Structure 1
Amino acid sequence: MDVLSDVMTVLRTGRPFAARFAKSGPWSDHRIGRPNGFGVQLMVRGTAVAVTEGGETYKLGPGDALLVPHGAAHLVADSPDTPPGPRCEPGHAFPGAVLRSDDPEATHVILCLAYELAPNRNHPLIATLPDFVHIPADPGERPGLAGAIAMLDGELASEQRGGDTLVPALLDAVLMYLLRALLGPRTVECRFAGWATALADKAVGPALEAIHAAPARQWTVASLGEVAGLSRSAFAKRFTELVGQPPLAYLTSWRLTMAARLLADTEAPLASIARQVGYGSEFAFAAAFKRDFGTPPGQFRKQAPACDPGAEPFRREAVAV
């Protein structure tokens, strides 16, 4: 698995939330804040505005996306003059739900997606993003994203066989296309500093890929520097500047993040998990885990939420509009 897919797979918990709202103006919805949520608003038909609690306004046209990486509260409406509407809590009343609505005469169609992220982990990819990120439609440059949104919209507009498999797969496809658009294939195209820039960097990017491809390997700053094509000191300096952590601190953090997910999703013995994430003994692993998470791995396992998206089918509910 590549590094970007790796990060999102490990950080997510449970099934995502998906809703399709078909409306005719005037209308306004209040998306409440959700600290561990990663939300996405996708405009399919018509135009709308998203207004933050700080008063910042984003105009959304067909094909536009608004990412809400930290689950910040906001309003979505057909016009900035429309009074605030009802509160909407994605994933609270309907965990792992698909809310469907369809009205061929509706003037506006908007898709609302929400992922729950691990509450005890904040990866630099997410931490360095602002509360709102507007990604304008660009079908010519991003045909894959436009196609994925169209397929997801069609699937949410009507209930068909196989939807329990297709909807989560299409949600993941849309998310990955959006992150591609956000990060860009090269450093100069990346819109944000930090981990996002590091991933696209010609030296640090390969080192990140190597860590995620083989986290159990006994990496050193020197060996990671060889992957990056830099001297030990030059690599350590560049990695720390871009990622915000020294190389071995990032390695340790990622190993324990993976361990937390394995504890939540599997029944593997602690010794096995320790080996999978690069610890030579269960004792060393347990000590590092407790130091980082504040609780022993056995206790963490009893309390942690599972993230297996296939554990339960989506709940299907109709949306009243």
Structure 2
Amino acid sequence: MAVVDLISEMIRAVRVGGAGARLIRKTAPGARFAAFEGSGFHVITTGPCWLVSHDEPVRLDTGDIVLVTSGGEHGLSTEPLPLHDLPLVEMGPFPPAPGPADFEFLCGAYHLQRAPRYLRALPGLITVSPEPGRHPVLRSLVGLLTEDATGPGAAATLRAVLDLVLVQALRQWHEDNQGHGDDQGPPRVTHPGIAAALREIHDKPHHRWSVGTLSEAAGLPRAAFSRLFTAAVGQAPTAYLTGWRLHRAAQLLRDTDAPLARIASQVGYSTEFALSAAFRREYGVPPGRFRDTVPVLPSPTAR
């Protein structure tokens, strides 16, 4: 599956959540963001500052972007301080603080039941530095978002601009870190047998897969396949298969008007009741309520 296709799937997934953005001005020492259910990003409009987390601090300059892929705890500070030395930010649509500030940034977020699988497979915090010559589109979008988030009529256009910034930032990150080739699907793996099994799962979620049939597709003995798959992907084969089937079900619920029974057969569930139970465990809401969160958009993926 191509990187652009994965990003498109991710954008469709985050659109089911509420989107918001606000401009934040901070003086020393900075601000800490608690973990939340969703994904988001920060755009540094006036720097420099430091991104701090439970890993090594990263220096950020004006124009840099931080992608918070799955809502992990982090902070922005004037110095590379320990994360919990920073005061917690109060979340909400508050105006920026008046007066001088040591640094300023725009914060955008999608609040979700759960971050999409594609984003959960990426590093928790990603930094992107758009270069004027290489990334004029992203730099222009950042300027538009900064103006749009605080201007009149922001509610009407904010989500579209957030989507575009997120898409462009992820494209740049893939270019800078993983090249331009096709992806086998989240996550990227190098073992050809495991890559073949992942391709089968992604292309044929309706198939009656088992660890045995997947190991045959990988050309590996069953025990070796299970061990190598878990090491490469971070999940056992059956757990990954279930997650991908439910992700595809969420896409079909969101993008088509197909009945639940048909969707169940397309993603490998024998009945709509079996799909409903599994879907609720994964997303925290039944399929019908999930579908009601966005308008139905007919898609050629519905057969």
Query: Which TM-score bucket, shorter chain as reference?
Result: 0.5 to 0.7
Aligned mates of 2:69, 2:151 — CA distance in 1: 28
2:277 is the counterpart of 1:290:
yes
Q: Give the CA deviation at 1:4.
A: 2.1
Q: Give the CA deviation at 1:208.
A: 7.7
- Gap change, CA 1:267 and 1:117, over 3 Å in 2: same
Partner in structure 1 of residue 301 of structure 2: none
Partner in structure 2 of residue 58 of structure 1: 58
Partner in structure 2 of residue 154 of structure 1: 147
Alignment of 1:103-182 (within 5 A): 108-119=103-114, 123=117, 125-160=118-153, 163-182=154-173
User: Which residue identity does 2:273 align to in structure 1?
Assistant: A
Structure 1, residues 124-163: CA drift from partner, whole Å, max 9, x if none?
A: x333333322222323222221111111011123224xx2
Q: Is the 8 A contact 1:183 1:197 kept in 2?
A: no
Aligned mates of 2:279, 2:266 — CA distance in 1: 18
RMSD over aligned Cα atoms: 5.0
- Gap change, CA 1:42 and 1:306, over 3 Å in 2: farther
Q: Secondary structure at the match of 1:115?
A: strand
Q: Give the CA deviation at 1:212.
A: 6.6
Q: Secondary structure at the match of 1:157?
A: coil
Aligned with 1:254 (options 234, 240, 244)? 244
- Gap change, CA 1:302 and 1:194, over 3 Å in 2: closer
User: Which residue identity does 2:7 align to in structure 1?
Assistant: L
2:286 is the counterpart of 1:301:
yes
Aligned mates of 1:207, 1:144 — CA distance in 2: 37
Q: Is the 8 A contact 2:78 2:102 kept in 1?
A: no
Give the unaligned 5+ runs of structure 2: 296-303
Q: Give the CA deviation at 1:176.
A: 0.9
Q: Secondary structure at the match of 1:197?
A: coil
Q: Is the 8 A contact 1:216 1:278 kept in 2?
A: yes
2:206 is the counterpart of 1:233:
no
Aligned residues, how many?
282
- Gap change, CA 1:4 and 1:109, over 3 Å in 2: same
User: Which residue identity does 1:32 align to in structure 2?
Assistant: A
Alignment of 1:191-230 (within 5 A): 195-197=186-188
- After TM superposition, the score normalised by the length of structure 2 is 0.66
Q: Secondary structure at the match of 1:195?
A: coil
Q: Give the CA deviation at 1:7.
A: 3.1
Q: Give the CA deviation at 1:245.
A: 6.8
- After TM superposition, the score normalised by the length of structure 1 is 0.63
Partner in structure 1 of residue 44 of structure 2: 43
Percent of aligned positions that are identical = 28
Q: Is the 8 A contact 1:19 1:100 kept in 2?
A: yes
Q: Give the CA deviation at 1:43.
A: 0.3
Aligned with 1:16 (options 16, 19, 22)? 19
Q: Give the CA deviation at 1:80.
A: 4.4
Q: Give the CA deviation at 1:206.
A: 11
Aligned mates of 1:239, 1:140 — CA distance in 2: 41
User: Which residue identity does 1:287 align to in structure 2?
Assistant: A
